[in-house]
Amino acid sequence: MEDIGLALADFVSNMENVPSEISHLFSEITDLDEKFEEALTHAHQCERSLQRELKEKSNRDHQGPRELELLTQIDKDHEHAKSLCQEKSRLTQKALTIVQRHLAKLDAEIRHY
């Protein structure tokens, strides 16, 4: 039993940096989440502007430059939001890998004893 206690103490010692690593990753994820919300908010504002433009000029048979500009901006905002989600997913996977690695090490040390 004493050996398992030593293994656990060693594991805890090795885990000291994990909270700061995870905390840093979660901080980055939070920052990305805020940027994601900003991108979506901007896209929704452009969508409302586009709807107003189309409503006001419903008699026209073609799209004007303003409508095309808004559509382009909406696409850019959605692509930006998508890339932010992908980065958040990558960081989340990294955090999960860190925790899994340390848990596997603890499990191996416990089985060893």
pLDDT tens digit sequence for 20-78: 888 899 999 999 999 999 999 999 999 999 998 888 777 666 667 888 999 999 999 99
pLDDT tens digit sequence for 64-73: 788 899 999 9
Give me the sign of the Cα torsion angle 57, 61, 64, 66.
Answer: positive
Q: What is the pTM of this model?
A: 0.73
- Tokens standing for 71? 């559509």
Continuous H helices in 1-113: 2-14, 18-56, 65-112
